[in-house]
Amino acid sequence: MLQTVLNDLGIAVFASSGAMVAIRKGFDLFGIAALGVLTGVSGGVIRDVFLGVHPPTSIQHWPNITVAVAATAVATLTAKHLIRFNHIVLPLDAVGMGFFATSGAAFAVDHGASWFAAVLIGMTTAIGGGIIRDVLVREIPMLMRPADLYAVPALIGATAYAVIDYFGPQWIGLAVGTVLATTLRLAALVFGWRLPTGPPDLIVGEGS
């Protein structure tokens, strides 16, 4: 039950972020819905392709994409206001990211992945949608450029899940991993935690 709420929340927030980017780029309504849906569910679709779940869950069953479409509709109708509420959207996005990283790792373990694979697939579940979104709108993925930590909290949350699941019950791993990834992401936003770049004098051009 709580897992369904967190899953739908994550998809809705991710889809809204995709829809907002599409609106800013001047996409038409199909493009807005498509980018929203792809941002919302692509992480899970990649997870399922890697694990051999055919067809991917979000495609075979209607709830995830329905939530994503509804979220893009709401985002489009309220776009003028939504754009000023980043201080609400970013924390919700952090919760979705944390839950996807951890539940993606759990799903991978349940489908025969190694611990190593579970951590990678968990992180991919959390960040895949954002990467697909950025590639489709011709941006360099935000996750790879210097910005407040996002992928690293996902990686740590998925790792925490795998370690705890190895020793104890899965639900504790899910809870701790989700809270840990979300908290680290929120802390990165508040304190501006970033990773350094490579040697600065080798950077060429505008870098974006």
Closest approach, Cβ 2 to its own copies, in A, equals 25
Indicate which single residue of 1, 2, 4, 138 sits in contact with its own copies (rule: CB under 8 A).
138
- Contact 187/193 with Cβ under 8 angstroms? yes
26-44 burial code (b ≥16 CB/10 A, e <16): ebeeebbbbbbbbbbbbbb
Q: Which is nearer to its own copies, 91 or 141 (CB)?
A: 141
Give the x-and-dash track for 81-120 against its own copies (CB under 8 A).
--x------------------------x---xxx-xx--x
HSE-up of residue 54 (Cα within 13 Å, Cβ side): 1
Compute the distance between CA of residue 158 and CA of residue 152 in angstroms, rounded to an integer.
Answer: 10
Indicate which single residue of 26, 84, 87, 190 sits in contact with its own copies (rule: CB under 8 A).
26
DSSP string, 180-191: HHHHHHHHHHHH
Q: How many CB atoms lie within 10 A of CB 195?
A: 11
Closest approach, Cβ 5 to its own copies, in A, equals 22
Query: Rule CB under 8 A: which residues touch its own copies?
Result: 19, 22-32, 34-35, 49-52, 54-56, 59-62, 65, 76, 79-80, 83, 108, 112-114, 116-117, 120-121, 131, 135-141, 143-147, 149, 151-152, 194-199, 201-205, 207
